[in-house]
Amino acid sequence: METFARFVLALQVQDAAAAPAAGTGDIAHIIAQSTAINQVVLAILVIFSIASWAIILLKLLAYRAVERQTRTFLDVFHKSKKFSEVQAVCPTLPETPLVGVFQAGFAEINAQFRQAGAGQESSPGGGSRPLLKSLDAVDRALIRAATVEVGKLERRLTFLATTASVTPFIGLFGTVVGIMIAFQRIGTTGSTNLAVVGPGISEALLATAAGLFAAIPAVLFYNHFTHRVKELSAAMDDFALEFLNIAERNFT
């Protein structure tokens, strides 16, 4: 521990003479006058913050498109008389997870019809009435597709959770190092003058502030996006049940 303390003190020796000037209150000046370790900590926190904000903006735009296309898809699904009509509009609505769920169920129904030699027509209301071999297989296909779609919706959210949990500790590390340096300065100069100790403390607290600045938005938007994913997951479950009801009424 003593060796580490000496190493930390050596990194900030070059700034010791200018330390009193760092109390100007200018954050940029404080960063410029801080030690190499504190600057590395701040750089890491800035990277986390920029990456998390990029994910936040992308997810906000993505979920907005998902909700808009989900409403459009449900409107088409409820108005269509044939599954083939719904399938025709699926390529125009790539963002909604309901498309993936529908296509999985549609593919499973067609596969069973082909195996049974009943033709490829899979639409309710047709002249002939093909029968499903296994409604449970369709249910499993829908569940599997819904799981895949939830995974897509949750993509990159783990980084927000990591940012929310890790960055406060990174900032705390910078604070602890800064406090150690402040005490080393007291021991080196033999003075407790605020002009000597103040710059080191301000550098230390800046690391904590940067950690909180990165963590707080990540926590808020992670919880918000998690709630959105739960809502969309519930919508997929409802759609899967509706799909199964239609399949059971028309193909069993």
Secondary structure of 153-180 as H, E, C letters: HCCCHHHHHHHHHHHHHHHHHHHHHHHH
Beta strands in the chain (DSSP E): none
**Residue whose token pair is 């919880």:** 223
Can you read off the two tokens belonging to residue 22?
Answer: 């760092």
The answer to whether residue 3 is domain-embedded is no
The answer to whether residue 2 is domain-embedded is no
What pLDDT, on the 0 to 100 scale, is given for residue 195? 62
Q: Quick one: CA torsion of 209, 170, 180, 185, rounded to 10 degrees?
A: -60
Residues 6+ apart with CB under 8 A from 14: none
Can you read off the two tokens belonging to residue 84?
Answer: 């083939």
**130-168 as b/e: b if 16+ CB within 10 A:** bebbebeebbebbeebbeebbeebeeebebbeebbebbb
The answer to whether residue 6 is domain-embedded is no
The answer to whether residue 197 is domain-embedded is yes
The answer to whether residue 1 is domain-embedded is no
What pLDDT, on the 0 to 100 scale, is given for residue 60? 96
What pLDDT, on the 0 to 100 scale, is given for residue 157? 95
The answer to whether residue 100 is domain-embedded is yes
The answer to whether residue 5 is domain-embedded is no
Distance CA 67, CA 4 (A): 54
In this structure, which long-range contacts are made by residues 86-93, counting pairs with CB atoms below 8 Å and at least 24 apart in sequence?
A: 93/69
In this structure, which long-range contacts are made by residues 5-12, counting pairs with CB atoms below 8 Å and at least 24 apart in sequence?
A: 5/180, 5/184, 8/35, 8/37, 8/177, 8/180, 8/181, 8/184, 9/181, 9/184, 9/188, 11/35, 11/36, 11/37, 12/36, 12/181
What pLDDT, on the 0 to 100 scale, is given for residue 198? 66
The answer to whether residue 4 is domain-embedded is no
What pLDDT, on the 0 to 100 scale, is given for residue 243? 95
Domain of residue 125, residue span: 11-251
pLDDT tens string for the chain (252 positions)?
A: 555 445 444 444 444 444 444 344 477 766 676 677 888 889 999 999 999 999 999 999 999 999 999 999 999 999 998 898 999 999 999 999 999 999 999 999 998 888 876 444 444 444 556 778 888 999 999 999 999 999 999 999 999 999 999 999 999 988 888 888 777 777 776 666 666 566 667 777 888 899 999 999 999 999 999 999 999 999 999 999 999 999 988 887
What pLDDT, on the 0 to 100 scale, is given for residue 37? 80
Entry pTM: 0.77
What pLDDT, on the 0 to 100 scale, is given for residue 222? 97
Write down how long the chain is: 252
Can you read off the two tokens belonging to residue 142?
Answer: 């829908």
Number of folded domains that form the chain? 1
What pLDDT, on the 0 to 100 scale, is given for residue 75? 95
Task: Please say whether the beta carbons of 48 and 207 come within 8 A.
Answer: no
